[in-house]
Homo-oligomer: A and B are copies of this chain.
Amino acid sequence: MLNFDFYNPTQILFGQGQIAAITPLVPAGARVLMLYGGGSIKRNGVYDEVKAALSGHTVIEFAGIEPNPHYETLMKAVEIVHAEKIDFLLAVGGGSVIDGTKFVAAAALFEGDPWQILEKGGRNITAALPFGSVLTLPATGSEMNSASVVTRAATQEKRPFANRLVFPKFSVLDPSKTFTLPLRQVGNGVVDAFVHVMEQYLTYPANAPVQDRWAEGLLLTLIEEGPKTLSEPDNLDVRANVMWSATMALNGVIGVGVPQDWATHMIGHELTALYHLDHAQTLAVVLPGILTVRKEAKRAKLLQYAARVWHIAEGDEDSRIAAAIERTRAFFEQMGVQTRLSGYGLDASAIDAVVAALEAHKLVKLGEHRDVSAEVSRAALELSL
């Protein structure tokens, strides 16, 4: 096991009816900016429950945070924070709203040009407004971590940042609030969580059996419960298990003391920035190719994955690995997420564009061994044409 430093102070309020429990967690007398996306929270009851829970507070609203939240949009929220003397933020929505709120929290107190936060990956954050979240879409894990991704629409740049000052103070996870999600978002969420686990698990052995088994536990649960969200959409336990899996997939605990990959995410970010694919769609396209082209470096863990997650016992090593990757691709498709560029109307010219973007952004040493060059990324994408 590698040395590590783990810290995660986010309080989780989990279960049906928990939105009402936030009242005492928002400081008395706080001026609250409530940030959300489109109008879905007004249709599924979340908006009304949040407003009721905050009825004793001054609440100003900021709507319109888009998927892959835009720097330009978020800076408008920062202006409102300053003009209205806001001292607490509440994100109500999915990962994009929470990611965006993290940026607003840091940018509002940042001295200098806030774009520098994204240029420096968040290392230059020295203060942030406190904030909570009410999660409506299990997927990104943003509700219980200190990372965020923001897109500058003007330049098609998608940039991650992280800092321990932008952990949510609390997050509400009410699985009953996910019943009204479109199936596309449900499927995307399961794939997103699955790939988050894979980025931390599918590297090379580090003698960390707890982390391995916990990662495998999440993968097995997503494989079991994910399809049930489609076949039994009103099953609260299923929704709860998917929601908890997605949060645990990226709250840090399965990634301590082990090598991590994240090449699939970095390549996927370029696909989203260029062609506006959903984040999970890009992961479903990239991961099978990455696992295949990096088969030698990942051989031991691929065999473990084949055996423990897919229960594949037949055949020689290479055929077990190939079968496990094929099962992975089939699972994503089962969740309604296409795994080939052609499924999104893209062809080989998109690969050229992604490779050029990776080179422009100096993302040419990716993966747990820093050996995923732009050409390795190209080879991975060519397997998912």
Interface residues of A (CB under 8 A from B): 1-18, 21, 207-210, 213-214, 216-218, 220-221, 224-225, 237, 240-241, 244-245, 248, 253, 256-257
Contacts and interface: CB of A to CB of B under 8 A. Distances in A.
A185 B17 CA distance: 45
A362 to B, nearest CB: 30
Contacts of A15: 1-4, 257
A89 to B, nearest CB: 19
Contact of A213 (B14, B209, B217): B217
Given A210-B248, A237-B207, A245-B210, A18 B3 contact: yes
B5 A14 contact: yes
Contacts of A217: 209-210, 213-214, 216-217
A18 B9 CA distance: 21
B6 A12 contact: yes
Nearest to A243: B1
State the copy count for this chain.
Answer: 2
Contact of A237 (B1, B3, B221, B244): B1
16 contacts: A1-B240, A2-B15, A5-B14, A7-B11, A14-B257, A15-B257, A208-B241, A209-B220, A209-B225, A209-B241, A210-B218, A213-B218, A213-B221, A216-B217, A244-B256, A244-B257
A207 B224 CA distance: 12
Given A5-B14, A8-B8, A8-B9, 17 more contacts: A1-B240, A3-B17, A4-B12, A4-B15, A7-B9, A7-B11, A14-B256, A14-B257, A15-B257, A209-B220, A209-B225, A210-B217, A210-B245, A213-B216, A213-B218, A216-B217, A217-B217
Contact of A3 (B1, B14, B214, B253): B14
A212 to B, nearest CB: 8
A355 to B, nearest CB: 38
Nearest to A12: B6
Contacts of A218: 210, 213
B221 A1 contact: no
Nearest to A253: B253
A17 B5 CA distance: 12
Contacts of A12: 4-7, 256
A215 B9 CA distance: 22
Contacts of A210: 217-218, 221, 241, 244-245, 248
Q: Which of A10, A244, A253 has the most CB of B within 10 A?
A: A244
Contacts of A209: 217, 220-221, 224-225, 241
Given A207-B237, A210-B241, A221-B209, A13 B8 contact: no
